[in-house]
């Protein structure tokens, strides 16, 4: 079974490109900084930096809402590959292909990050949805 669940913060804004063809598809690449458990020895990193790729609507969502520092939870699978670079050296790659992604904290709780996703709530505890994104909701 090849399943991965990660929670971490984006190290920079997603790099989004669109495929060629009749129906272009968003391809978003971003790196998650995922904290390691336990105490680390001095001088050793306390996080792993995991490259992630989101396709289609997931890529569009990342482009629209994800910024450097955004804390997200992703679920996906590991994909490995290789290519030969310009110097003729074989390079091996490992990416997490995102199958689902969501915010791991509310807009107000992130330290200094600016998300444009709706996160305000009304007095009854339900989230207020701005009129401009009503048509994007799958349950209208």
Residues sharing a CB contact under 8 Å with residue 79, sequence separation 6 or more, in sequence order: 53, 94, 95, 96, 97
Q: At 70, which CATH number? A: 2.40.50.140
Confidence of residue 135 (pLDDT cuts 50, 70, 90): low
Distance CA(36)–CA(18), nearest Å, equals: 33
**Is the model more confident about 96 or about 21?**
96
pLDDT at 138: 54
Confidence of residue 21 (pLDDT cuts 50, 70, 90): confident
Q: pTM for this one?
A: 0.71
pLDDT at 36: 85
pLDDT at 71: 95
Confidence of residue 37 (pLDDT cuts 50, 70, 90): confident
pLDDT digits (tens, 9 = 90+) for 112-126: 444 444 444 444 555
**Contact of 26 with 60, CB cutoff 8 Å:** yes
Arithmetic mean of pLDDT, 27-43: 84
The residue among 74, 32, 33, 35 whose CA lies nearest residue 55 is 74
Arithmetic mean of pLDDT, 42-69: 90
Overall domain count for the chain:
1
Q: Which domain holds residue 36?
A: 4-136
pLDDT digits (tens, 9 = 90+) for 10-19: 999 999 999 9
């Amino acid at each position: 079974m090849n399943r991965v669940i990660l929670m971490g913060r984006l190290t920079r804004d997603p790099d989004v490109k669109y495929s060629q063809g009749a129906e272009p598809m968003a391809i978003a690449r971003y790196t998650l900084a995922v904290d390691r458990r336990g105490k680390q020895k001095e001088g050793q990193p306390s996080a792993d930096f995991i490259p992630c790729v989101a396709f289609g609507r997931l890529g569009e969502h990342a482009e629209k809402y994800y910024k450097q520092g955004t804390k997200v939870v992703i679920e996906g699978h590991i994909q490995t590959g290789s290519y030969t670079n310009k110097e003729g050296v074989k390079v091996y790659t490992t990416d997490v292909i995102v199958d689902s992604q969501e915010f791991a904290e509310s807009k107000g709780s992130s330290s200094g990050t600016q998300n444009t996703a709706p996160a305000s709530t009304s007095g009854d505890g339900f989230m207020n949805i701005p009129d401009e994104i009503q048509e994007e909701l799958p349950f209208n």
